[in-house]
Structure 1
Amino acid sequence: MRLTAPPRRETGRRDTEGMAVASFVLGLVGLLVLNFVLGPIAIALATLALRRDTPRRFRALLGLWLGIADIAILAVLMAANGATSWSIVG
């Protein structure tokens, strides 16, 4: 009698899809608010998703580029007026 291992669940693939989507959403939201927090998180999630060979590669790349854009916008804002996020003067 041979015992077999329980069937493996495909959670790894689904996790990478979630990371790719989350990086895209966080990068997109980071363009408007909290770019100093959401930008690095988007970059980290996109990098992890790409390293784990996500099937949503394009979305992970968009998240990566949006995270980089968040950091770039932060640098421009800090150089322009010392702010750490968007500010609307009324």
Structure 2
Amino acid sequence: MQLTAPATGRNTARDHDGMAVASFVLGLVGLLVFNVVLGPVAIVLAAVALRHGTARRGRALLGLGLGVADLVVLAAFMQADNAISWSF
């Protein structure tokens, strides 16, 4: 007996498009707050979306770039303050 509906191609494609958009948004927000968490999450979501062939490839690439930028900003502020957290 099957309790859940089988995944259709349309739903999984929409999920991967959502991952691409989420990676972009999280990468953008991560430049300001919680970049130690949001940067890696944005990178992973973008990589999964790109691997599964999202229709929003540009957003996924931007999310990937912003996730990497989050980690670069974190590293720069850590170098300047000698601490994991930073503030304005």
Q: Deviations over 1:8-61 (max 9, x none)?
A: 631110010000000000000000000000000000000000000000000000
What is the TM-score when the length of structure 2 is the normalising length?
0.87
What is the TM-score when the length of structure 1 is the normalising length?
0.85
Is the Cα–Cα contact under 8 Å of residues 78 and 86 in structure 2 kept in the other structure? Answer: no
Ranges in structure 1 where 5+ consecutive residues have no aligned partner = 1-5
Is the Cα–Cα contact under 8 Å of residues 35 and 85 in structure 1 kept in the other structure? Answer: no
Q: Are 2:76 and 1:76 aligned?
A: yes
Task: Say what the alpha-carbon RMSD is for the aligned residues.
Answer: 1.7
Ranges in structure 2 where 5+ consecutive residues have no aligned partner = none
- Matched residue pairs, number? 83
Residue 54 to residue 79, structure 1, CA distance change in 2 (3 Å): same
Matched ranges for 1:49-88 at <5 A: 49-88=49-88
Matched ranges for 1:7-86 at <5 A: 9=8, 10-86=10-86
SS at 1:83 equivalent: coil
How far, CA to CA, are the matches of 1:81 and 1:42 in structure 2?
Answer: 25
Identical-pair percentage: 63
